[in-house]
Structure 1
Amino acid sequence: MLELLDAWVERGWLRRIDRALVRWLKELEPSTPEPLLLAAALCSHQYGRGHICLDLSATLLDADATLSLPPEGDVGEEMPTKPSELLEGSQLESWLAAIKGSPLVNSEASPLVLVENRLYLRRNYRFEQAVAGHISSRLAPMEVSPELKPQLDALFSAPGLDWQKLACGLAFRMPFTIITGGPGTGKTTTVVRLLGLKQQLALASGQKLRIGLAAPTGKAAARLTESIRGAVEKLALPQDVKAAIPVEVTTLHKLLGVIPQSRHFRHHHQNPLHLDLLVVDEASMVDLEMMSALLDALPASAQLILLGDKDQLASVEAGSVLGDLCQGADLGGYDTDTQRFLESLCGESLAAFTQGQSALAQCRAMLRVSHRFGSDSGIGQLARAVNLGQSEAALKLLRENRDDLKLLPIKDDGVALSRLAIEGYRGYLQVLSAERGSERDTWAAKVLAAFGRFQMLCALRKGPFGVEGLNQEIAEALKANGQLEADHGWYEGRPVLVTRNNYTLELMNGDVGICLRVVEADGSQRLRVAFPVVGGIKWVLPSRLSDVETVFAMTVHKSQGSEFDHTVLVLPDTLSPVLTRELVYTGITRAKRCFTLAAPKLGLLAAAVERKVERASGLREAFSQG
C-alpha cells in the first residue's frame, strides 16, 4: 500500500501530507488493515479538495469521479493502479468492517471518525459537530410582538409577496437567520432596515443593541461598509436611530482577534464577543473551521444573521457551510406555524411553496427578485440559465450579442485577450495620469475606483489561460503599448493582490492596491502602494509587501465579495475539476453592466454548466430530521 501511495504522490495524484498521514497511522497501529489505510489517504485527499469527509458509498459507486483521480488531463503512459481499480469488486460492508474494527477509528481521541458511510479526520468532525450544535441551540422561535406587522409595513411598502419583508420578519422570530439571494436582490437593504427597526425598539426601551458587522475579507468588508452607509442614510427612521446603526464592517479575523502565527483567536466561548447581534455578509466564503470559531465566540444570547448567495462558489478552504444550510431554500419548506406567521405579515398565501418540518428551514428566507438585473437583462438571464444547468440556453444568450453580454473566441496566441485588456484597463491608467495633481488620497481613490470597473477572471492559476500567464501577458502588452513603464519589478500603475493576511499592516488576503509614484515632503518621488480602507487610503512601501501578486487577472475565487462594471471570464482550454457551474455563475454575477466570456473551446462552457459540485459533509444530514 505504501509503495502505491508513493507512486500516487510522485504522479501528483496525492499530496505528501496525505501519504504522511498514512505512515503516521501505520506507526500508531502497525496492524492497521490496508482498506483502512487506503480510506485514510483518500479522506485526507478529499479534505485537500474541500470536502469535510470521505463518502465511502460514493467512492465505491464511482471512484474516478468522486475522487477526481486520475486528475483530468492525466493521460500519460505507465499509469499506476487507480483507486477505482484497487476498489473494484469491494463491498461497502467489508470496507466498513475493516474501518470499524480499528482502534484508530471512533475510540476516544482517535484520529479518524466514522459516521454511517462518512469517514472524517477528527478535527473536521469536531468542527462539523460544533457548527451543528451551535446552530441547533438557536432554532427555537422567539416571542414576536403584535406590533411587528405595522412596523414592518412602514419600512416595506411594496404590495404583494415581499420576501425582503418576510426575511426581516423571520429575523424577529428566530435567533438564527439566513437571508440568501442572488446579486441585487436586496440582502443589504433588508438587513439595514432590520437593524434599524431592532435598534429603534431597543432605544425605545432604554437600551442600545451591541451590533457587529463582519465579512470574510477586507475587500468584502469595505464594499459592505459603503453599501450600509448609503442604505442607512435612506432609512425612513429618526436620526438618533440611524446614528445607532453601525456602518463599519470588519473582517472575521479581526472581529475574533486572530493570534499571530496560530490558528487560534482571542475570542472563544470563555472570552465571548460583546455583542447582542452579529451580521455576517458573503457567508458562502466562510469555511467550516472559521464558522466553528465564530459560533464558539458568539454569546448564547446573541442573534446571528448570515447573508450570502447560496449558489456562489463555496469557500476556498474545506466545507460549503452556507450551501449545506440552504439546501432546499428555494422550495420554502416552512411548517404550518412559520407559514401562518409569514402570511400574517404579508397578507399573501405561501401555499405554492412546499411545506416541511426541518427546524433549519424555519430560519431561512430566499430573496427572489433582482433589482439590479431586470427581466430583460442579459446578465441576469445568463446567470439564471447557468444556475439551472441550462447550457444550451446559456450559449444561445451569449451568441445573441446583447449590449451586456459578449462572446470572445480566443486562440493560443492570446492576441484577442491582450487587445481586450489594453482597452479595458485604459480607463484607470488615464485617470492615473489626468488626476495626478489632485490631493494624494483623492487621486489614489479615483485610480482605484477606475481600476475596479474592469476585471479579468480566470478559472485556473496555471496554463496559458490561467492567472499567472495572463498577468504576465497583459503587463507586457500594456508596456509594449506605452501605457505602463517597461520595468519588471515595482512600477507605477501595477495593481497587486494581497495573497496572505498581514496583521502588522492590517491588510487581508484578497485586498487590492495600486502602485503609484508620489511626491514626498522633501520633494523626492517614491513608489508607494495605495490600498482602499474604510474612511480613506492606506499607503504602504513596496518593500514591506512580500505576499502580493500582479492582478490584471485574478481567480474567480479571489473575486468573491467584489463587483466590476465589466467582467471578463476566461475559460481554460482543457476541462479541469474546478470548472463547475458554481464557478461560472460566480464569474457572471461579478459583472454589473457587461459580461464577456472568453473561451478557446465553447464546449467547455457546457461541460462546466452541467457539472454541479457538492462537497461531502454531514451538515445537511444533521438538520434533515428536525
Structure 2
Amino acid sequence: MNRTFADLLPTPLTADSLVQLTPLTRADDLLLLLTQWVERGWLRALDKAFVAFLHELAPDVDPLVLLAAVLTSHQLGHGHVCLDLFETLKAPDFALSLPPEGDAQPGVLLLPSQLLETLDGAHWCKVLAGSSLVALAADEGASAQERPLVLSGKRLYLRRYWAYERRIDSALRQRLAEQEATPSDLARRLDELFDPAQRADVIDWQKLACALATRSAFSIITGGPGTGKTTTVVRLLALLQAPAVEAHQPLRIRLAAPTGKAAARLTESISQQVQSLKVADSVREKIPTEVTTVHRLLGSRPGTRHFRHHAGNRLPLDVLVVDEASMIDLEMMANLLDALPPHARLVLLGDKDQLASVEAGAVLGDLCRDAEAGWYSPQTRQWLGQG
C-alpha cells in the first residue's frame, strides 16, 4: 500500500466530525479539540502538553477538570495567575481572548464560547472540588500539597502560582501589621525637606506620602509620569537615614529595578535628586545612587529558578526601594519578599498603569486596585493631625 505525505498530516475537523465530538464528556475528544486549537494558534503547545500530562497522571479524570486546567495554563500565558471560572462563563471570548483578535483563518472549528455555553459554573466547581488533581485552598494536608491544581472559591490556580500568591500575602500582612517608630521631631524634619505650602488648604501629597511611609515596613509610592515619585522617595530616604546617621548607625539602603534600562534611568534621576537634598553631607553620603537589577540583587543562578539570597540567606540590607514595580511579576515578588530580612523596609515605586510585567501577575496593579476606595484609619488621622 502506497502512502503519500498528505496521508501523514492531521485530518482536519469537518462540520460532521465536529458534531460528533463530545469534549465535555470524553477526554479523548477534548484532547483532539485542543490539538486543533494549538494548530490554529489559539493555545500554546505547552498548554496542551500540560493537560496531556495530567491525563496520564489520572486517566479517568473528568474532562471538565482537563478543560479548566488547559484554560488556566492559557491564562498564565496571557499574564493572569488564575482562571476565574464564573467570569469565564459569563464572557468566554473576552475573558480568554479567544479567538485571538484578527484571527480570520478559514475552516470549521468549535469556539471556546460554544464549548462553554452549556456549562454551569456551580457544577464545574463541584467537579473540580472532587477531583484527585485538585486541592481545595483550605486543605493543608500532605496529600493536598501534592496536587497540581488549587481551587480557591471560584478561581483555579496552578499550585506553583497559588503558593507564590500565599507567600506574598503572608509576607505583606506581617509587614503591614508592624508599625515602625518615627522620630519625635518628624514634623520639623519634613518641613526642612519640603518647601512651605503656598496655600493652607492644598495637601502636599509628596510630604504626606513620606510621613506615612516612615511608619510602615511596606509602602507604595505610585503615580503617573511627572508626579514626583523619585523626588518623594529620595526625601523619604533622607528622612529615614538622617536619624540613623545621627545615632552612628546608618541604614543599609539598596535600590533596584526590574531591568538594566530601568536601573540606569533611576541611577541618573536619583543622583540629581540626592545632590539637591537639604541635608547634611554626612546624610547625603549614606543615600545610595547606584541602582542594580532585581535579579542581580538576589543573585540569580543561571539555568535555575533559584537565587543566592532567599529565606535561608537573607539580603544584607535595612531598606529596599524597587522602581518600576509594575514590571515585577508574581514569582519575582515572592522571591524578593522571601529574601528580605524581617526588619527591613520595602518601598515599591511605579505606575500601575504602565510597563506591565512580562510574566504572570500584575502585583503592583493588584495592590493598588482598591486604593481609591480606601481610607485612613482614625488612628492614622489622629497621628497626622498631631504633625
TM-score (norm 2): 0.87
Deviation readout 1:69-111 (Å, 9 max, x if unpaired) = 1111223332311111111121111101111111100022210
CA contact (8 A) 2:244 2:251 kept: yes
Question: 1:266-311, CA deviations, whole angstroms, 9 ceiling, x for partnerless residues?
Answer: 0001010000010001100111111111001101110000000122
Q: Give runs of aligned pairs for residues 36-435 of structure 1, distance below 5 A.
A: 36-106=65-135, 107-140=144-177, 141-159=179-197, 160-345=202-387
CA distance in 2, matches of 1:254, 1:274: 14
Structure 2 residue identity aligned to 1:80 = L
> Considering only aligned residues, what root-mean-square deviation do their CA atoms show, in Å?
1.2
1:96-130 alpha-carbon deviations (Å, 9 max, x no partner): 11111111000222100000000001111111111
Distance 1:80 1:253 in 2: 43
Q: CA deviation at 1:333?
A: 2.2
Superposition deviation, residue 192 in structure 1: 0.9
Shift of 1:198: 1.4
Q: CA deviation at 1:145?
A: 3.2
User: CA-to-partner distance for each residue in 1:141-183, whole Å, 9 max, x for gaps?
Assistant: 2233331111111111231311111111111111100010111
**Percent identical:** 57
CA contact (8 A) 2:37 2:43 kept: yes
Offset from partner CA, 1:43-74 (integer Å, 9 cap, x none): 00000000000010111101111001111122
Offset from partner CA, 1:503-529 (integer Å, 9 cap, x none):
xxxxxxxxxxxxxxxxxxxxxxxxxxx
SS at match of 2:134: coil
Query: Which amino acid counterpart does residue 171 of structure 1 have in structure 2?
Result: A
1:187 is displaced (CA, Å) by: 1.0
Gapped runs of 5+ residues in structure 1?
A: 346-626
Amino acid at match of 1:184: G
Q: Is the 8 A contact 2:183 2:243 kept in 1?
A: no
- Cα deviation for residue 341 of structure 1 reads 2.6
CA distance in 1, matches of 2:48, 2:91: 22
Residue matched to 2:16: none
Bigger proportion of residues as strand: 1
Distance 1:9 1:342 in 2: 57
| Corresponding pairs, count | 345
Deviations 1:198-254 (A, max 9, x none): 111001112010101000111111111111111111111111111111110000011
Alpha-carbon deviations, 1:375-422, whole Å to 9, x = none?
A: xxxxxxxxxxxxxxxxxxxxxxxxxxxxxxxxxxxxxxxxxxxxxxxx
The amino acid of 1:205's aligned partner reads A
Q: Deviations over 1:178-197 (max 9, x none)?
A: 01011111111111111112
- Give the Cα–Cα distance (whole angstroms) in 1 for the partners of residues 360 and 319 of structure 2: 26
Query: Structure 2 counterpart of 1:156, which letter?
Result: F
1:343 offset after TM fit, Å? Answer: 4.0
Q: Do 2:254 and 2:319's aligned partners in 1 also have CA atoms closer than 8 Å?
A: yes
Q: Secondary structure at the match of 2:303?
A: coil
Q: Please say if residues 327 and 358 of structure 2, whose CA atoms lie closer than 8 Å, have aligned partners that are also in contact.
A: yes
Which one-letter code corresponds to 2:192 in the other structure? A
Q: What is the CA–CA distance in structure 2 between the aligned matches of 1:260 and 1:343, rounded to whole Å?
A: 51
Q: Cα gap change, 1:144/1:199 in structure 2, threshold over 3 Å: closer, same or farther?
A: closer
1:453-472 superposed matches below 5 A: none
Instruction: For 2:374 and 2:204, locate their aligned partners in 1 and report how far apart those are by CA, in whole Å.
Output: 14
Q: TM-score, normalised by structure 1?
A: 0.54
Runs of 4+ in 1 over 4 A off after TM superposition: none
Any unmatched runs of 5+ in structure 2? 1-29, 136-143
**TM-superposed deviation, 1:332:** 4.5
In 1, the alpha carbon distance for the partners of 2:131 and 2:65 equals 8
Q: Which letter does structure 1 place at the counterpart of 2:310?
A: H
Provide, for residues 338-357 of structure 1, a one-character-per-residue CA deviation record: whole Å limited to 9, x for no partner.
23333444xxxxxxxxxxxx
